[in-house]
Amino acid sequence: MIVEMKKAYIVIKTAKKRMMLKALGNAGLLHLESDIHANEETQQIQKRCDTLLSTISAIVELQGKREQVEQRTLSMEASAEIADRYAGLIDERKRLEEEIAIHKGQVERLSPWGDFDPVQIEQLRQAGIDLHFYTLSKKDLSALDPAISYLNLAPVGSLEAIATVGVELPPSAMASELAIPKAGLLDTQRLLETATAKLAETVDTLRGGAIYLTSLKEYHRRLTETRIFEEIANGMEGEEELCWIGGYLPIDQVSSFETIAKSNAWAYALDDVSEEDTPPTLVRYPKGVGIIKPVFDILGTVPGYSEGDISTWFLLFFTLFFAMIIGDAGYGLIFLLAASAIHFKTKKPTTLVLLIYVLSVATMVWGSITGTWFGSKAILERLPVLQTLVIPSIANYPELFGIDAVTAQNTVMKFCFIVGTVQLSLACTLNVIKKAPHKDLSLMADIGWLVAILALYLVVLQLVIGTLINIQVVFTVVLAGFALVVLFGEQSPGTPIAKGMIKGLGGIFTTFLNTISAFSNIMSYIRLFAVGMASVAIAQSFNAMASSMNSGIAIVAGIVVLVIGHSLNLVMGLLSVVVHGVRLNLLEFSGQLGMEWTGVAYKPFAQTAQEQ
């Protein structure tokens, strides 16, 4: 459920605002509504945070998948010194990498010319002998103006090399001039070796910083808290003597807040949330439903404060969609083993592991009743016990049960449309239940949508499966639902009925388009059938490829094909769950509910860092 919020205001003497913020942060109750005010100090802290985060990332990257090293606990002062030291090492590494790149380029460019001393060339230039070195093809060399004097040098690769004395070749000459370096080839190679050795030493030192990672992360957290503290303190409204701040807290935390306020002698006020306010959303999941939270966290979706919590329904339908899209009991078994392995390694199952358990079992159930085990008909034929689990009318291999493929496919498609109709009808019903206590007449529009959706379901069956229906009766019902939506869709508590009806009639064309959209929403649930069938077809294709490699060394290749093919199919299935399974919940279902997922997560101000 979405926890009810109270709005809280605190008034304090300006001189004591930092003490108030510290106590408020230690309590971790209030979601602040204060403006953030950055200044030069907080900008410097943020810059230091960014540098520190880059340092931590670099050390973690260098550590790679090595065994975890024993951590050293440092004070904040020592952590700051270490952070500066390793930030300097990262700058040094970058400088050395750039230097090495330059030296490598020089070595590559000078190697064909061989070693020479640039100092001697400079001495000749000061003595009046200005030499210019060029490479060019034989054809371009023969095309040079005969008046140009030059010295032939040893060829550089496939090109001719020459040196002119006192003059440069004209731009029209197809020649490349050698820029005289500051150091010769051997000296440059020595510089390259020195820089490479220094880089290796610097990288080793950086890698050794892994022992400080915990302390550096804690230091980063403290810096972040300090920045937030200062920004909030700077953003507090007030006058010379007094300042104030406001925010939101859960209604069940009001007594704790009042206790803290009284013990610190704060002036405070509590108020109910109004329609103009934008309170944060705190969702407390029913027992067993919290396992869906990782999905919401990954998607970054938060329901609005007044939108309602649909986590229970989301979990139920998402589990069904996942099972139908993956569609293979063998794949479900793989997920189950993976979850068990993670569970065994971590000892205590996380919500994500519990979610994988539920999804894998659901997938195994769906795969079992459709007779799908790694997309293989042979497995089903050779293990009769698996056939006893199959529901023949929705089997992926219906011929084993004396049913033709078209009948089985039509049954699965009909089931998909039933699921869609049930989910969309549920959304209408939830809207009616929500509005009824408030005597909101717009619930009649939701009843209209419910009637229209049930009738449109029959239209879908007629068009896709060919089920015979009484078109006249069905469209009469749709028209009745349409009329209810038009007449009551714009009603609201306190709005005169006639005014709401006139407004609804003004949007009749939009309602007509929404009715067509409701039809397409039901149709869109066929994606569960289509994606599931595609997954089976891909698995069958790889099985067929591997089955042809059944002798000699080809067996190894066949195993590789099976592993790669089914792994690819699994990944594609997971992507399909995100694209299709999540979409049906977040768009079709949520859209019918009127949800926009525009909420802001409840995040109380928490401060554990000491003031700087």
DSSP string, 311-342: HHHHHHHHHHHHHHHH--HHHHHHHHHHHHHH
Q: Are residues 169 and 200 in the same domain?
A: no
Structure tokens at 232: 């909030």
Q: For helices 254-263 and 17-27, what crossing angle results, to 10°? A: 150
Q: Are residues 72 and 197 in the same domain?
A: yes
Q: Are residues 317 and 228 in the same domain?
A: no
Q: Are residues 351 and 377 in the same domain?
A: yes
Q: Are residues 70 and 121 in the same domain?
A: no
Closest CA to 317 of 421, 396, 389: 421
Number of structural domains found in the chain: 4
| pLDDT number for residue 547 | 84
| Residue 562 parent element (H or E) | helix 554-576
Structure tokens at 70: 């024993």
Q: Are residues 160 and 101 in the same domain?
A: no
Beta bridge partners of 131: 165
**What's 182-244 look like in SS3?**
CCCHHHHHHHHHHHHHHHHHHHHHHHHHHHHHHHHHHHHHHHHHHHHHHHHHHHCEECCCEEE
CB 173 within 8 A of CB 140: yes
On whether residue 477 sits in a domain, the answer given is: yes
Structure tokens at 411: 């049954």
**Three-state DSSP class for 277?**
coil
On whether residue 355 sits in a domain, the answer given is: yes
CB 6 within 8 A of CB 249: yes
Q: How many Å apart are CA 278 and CA 584, to the nearest integer?
A: 27
Closest CA to 544 of 558, 554, 533: 558
| pLDDT number for residue 610 | 45
Last residue of a domain, one of 195, 218, 235: 235
Last residue of a domain, one of 183, 202, 217: 183
Closest CA to 453 of 529, 517, 528, 530: 517
On whether residue 247 sits in a domain, the answer given is: no
Q: How many Å apart are CA 185 and CA 115, to the nearest integer?
A: 5
Q: Are residues 435 and 399 in the same domain?
A: no
- Tens-place pLDDT, residues 510-555: 888 888 888 999 999 999 999 999 999 999 998 888 888 877 788 8
On whether residue 276 sits in a domain, the answer given is: no
| pLDDT number for residue 612 | 38
Last residue of a domain, one of 142, 166, 183: 183
CA angle, residues 320, 323, 327, in degrees to nearest 5? 140
Q: Are residues 501 and 566 in the same domain?
A: no
Q: How many Å apart are CA 604 and CA 607, to the nearest integer?
A: 10
On whether residue 295 sits in a domain, the answer given is: no
Q: How many Å apart are CA 59 and CA 61, to the nearest integer?
A: 5
| Residue 8 parent element (H or E) | strand 5-13
Rg over alpha carbons for the chain, rounded to the nearest Å, is: 36
Q: How many CB atoms lie within 10 A of CB 287?
A: 5
On whether residue 244 sits in a domain, the answer given is: no
Reported as half-sphere exposure (CB side, CA atoms, 13 A), residue 385 has a value of 0
Q: Are residues 42 and 66 in the same domain?
A: yes
Return the exposure string of 478-488: e unless at least 16 CB atoms fall within 10 Å of the residue's CB, then b: beebbbbbbbb
| pLDDT number for residue 611 | 44
The set of residues, in sequence order, having a beta carbon less than 8 Å from that of 603 and lying 6+ positions away, is 31, 280
Q: Are residues 514 and 577 in the same domain?
A: no
On whether residue 165 sits in a domain, the answer given is: yes
CB 491 within 8 A of CB 445: yes
Domain that residue 172 falls in: 116-183
Q: How many Å apart are CA 576 and CA 527, to the nearest integer?
A: 10
Pairing of strands 151-156, 159-165: antiparallel
**Three-state DSSP class for 153?**
strand
Q: Are residues 485 and 498 in the same domain?
A: yes
**Three-state DSSP class for 432?**
helix
CB 244 within 8 A of CB 269: no
**Three-state DSSP class for 2?**
strand
On whether residue 599 sits in a domain, the answer given is: no
Q: Are residues 365 and 489 in the same domain?
A: no
Beta bridge partners of 245: 10
Low-confidence spans in the chain with pLDDT less than 70: 34-36, 65-67, 607-612
**Is the pTM higher than 0.85?**
no
